[in-house]
């Protein structure tokens, strides 16, 4: 059975989506991510979609759902590697991906998440900071 790996990197989880998503796989990924957050106490989830040339409304909803579930469990989510055509498609579909932060590269995404972890450790409310 196909499975998208969820890797632990310190306080973060790294997910690289390199295959076409379908309903069953998306549900399995959501389940895996939520279980890993609970198991490891992860504070951030980094989802790399740089290999995806096409993102439809289904994948957009899946990303938003994972971000929402992660947030409820205390982890921030950053989606990285979005191709320009993917960004255009999501906007044209009316999907702004609420609650999903984005970055161009894995490195930039990790900086965002690790910065959020540091702010949490210092008692700063990163939900209300200025961009």
For the stretch 92-110, pLDDT in tens is 989 888 778 999 999 999 9
Between the alpha carbon of residue 83 and those of residues 16, 99, 104, 111, 123, the distances in Å are 14, 19, 9, 20, 34
Helix (H) or strand (E) holding 36: helix 23-40
Query: Where does the pLDDT of residue 124 fall: very low under 50, low under 70, confident under 90, or very high at 90 and above?
Result: low
Pick from 12, 32, 17, 29: nearest CA to 110: 12
CATH number of 6-128: 3.30.750.24
Percent of the chain with pLDDT over 70: 87
Q: Which of 7-16, 59-68, 79-88, 119-128 has the lowest mean pLDDT?
A: 119-128
Q: SS3 of 48, please?
A: strand
- Give the span between the Cα atoms of 103 and 79, in whole angstroms: 6
Q: What does the pLDDT average to over 48-58?
A: 89
Tokens of 102: 């984005």
């Amino acid at each position: 059975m196909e499975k998208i790996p969820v890797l632990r990197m310190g306080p973060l989880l790294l997910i690289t989506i390199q295959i076409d998503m379908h309903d069953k796989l998306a549900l399995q990924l959501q389940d895996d991510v939520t279980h890993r957050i609970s198991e490891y106490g992860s504070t951030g989830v980094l989802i790399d979609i740089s290999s995806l040339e096409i993102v439809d409304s289904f994948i957009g909803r899946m990303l938003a759902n994972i971000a929402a579930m992660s947030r409820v469990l205390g982890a921030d989510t950053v989606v990285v590697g979005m191709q320009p055509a993917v960004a255009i498609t999501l906007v044209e579909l009316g999907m702004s991906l609420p609650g999903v932060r984005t970055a161009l590269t894995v490195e930039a995404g990790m900086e965002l998440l690790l910065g959020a972890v540091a702010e949490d450790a210092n008692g700063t409310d990163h939900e209300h900071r200025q961009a």
